[in-house]
Chains A and B, each alone.
Chain A
Amino acid sequence: GEDVEQSLFLSVREGDSSVINCTYTDSSSTYLYWYKQEPGAGLQLLTYIFSNMDMKQDQRLTVLLNKKDKHLSLRIADTQTGDSAIYFCAGFSGGYNKLIFGAGTRLAVHP
């Protein structure tokens, strides 16, 4: 079945760039997604990339997709304390609207 892996923790200084990485096994998902979860909250859809694209930029967010290596990354420019959260990558696998999530990367932003 589908497997999505992420590193569990990332610590960055405020103002630096953050890069969160994800690898996946099932390449059938037409789109790949990044979600953000703040404490006590649901999942917020941040951005997504079409599987035929290599890169997508959306304000401070840049998504890179390496289809050959099945590697997805999310870069957050000028990281702020408000970016502290857990970030999940996800793709569809196994039928209608079934999202498979990574374990999530906890991003800590310090002054």
Chain B
Amino acid sequence: KAGVTQTPRYLIKTRGQQVTLSCSPISGHRSVSWYQQTPGQGLQFLFEYFSETQRNKGNFPGRFSGRQFSNSRSEMNVSTLELGDSALYLCASSFDGPNNEQFFGPGTRLTVL
């Protein structure tokens, strides 16, 4: 089975722009979660989607949004980029079963100049 894929792997943007990141989960997984990883704050939960519905949301401003499509692929969008949004954005997929293992993709490295 193919793992979680994320595109693009690297992205450079300037302040004020917006960006869309994509995540394709493992086949059969219906839950997709997004995390932001920075040296200062570590790994922080952004949101989780299941069957096209956002079920959970972390403490991030409204500039961060996401969605999930009927094939379970997910996108996250960050509008009006700030320097502090520079981070590694990771998505994880799971079957949402009993032991609920979360499998992570390689991440998208976003740099905001």
Contacts and interface: CB of A to CB of B under 8 A. Distances in A.
The answer to whether A and B interact is: yes
Interface of A: 30-31, 33, 35, 41-45, 48, 50, 88, 92, 94-104
Contact of B104 (A45, A100, A104): A45
A88 to B, nearest CB: 7
Contacts, number: 66
Interface residues of B, number: 26
Contacts of B84: none
Nearest to B4: A42
- The 4 lowest CB-CB distance pairs between A and B, nearest first, are A43-B104, A101-B43, A96-B55, A96-B56
Given A31-B99, A45-B101, A103-B42, A98 B48 contact: yes
Interface in B47-79: 48, 50, 55-56, 58
- Do most interface residues of chain B lie in helix, strand or loop, or is the interface mixed? strand
A74 B78 CA distance: 36
Interface in B73-105: 90, 92, 94, 96, 99-105
Contact of B96 (A94, A97, A103): A97
Interface of B: 4, 6, 31, 33, 35, 42-43, 45, 48, 50, 55-56, 58, 90, 92, 94, 96, 99-107
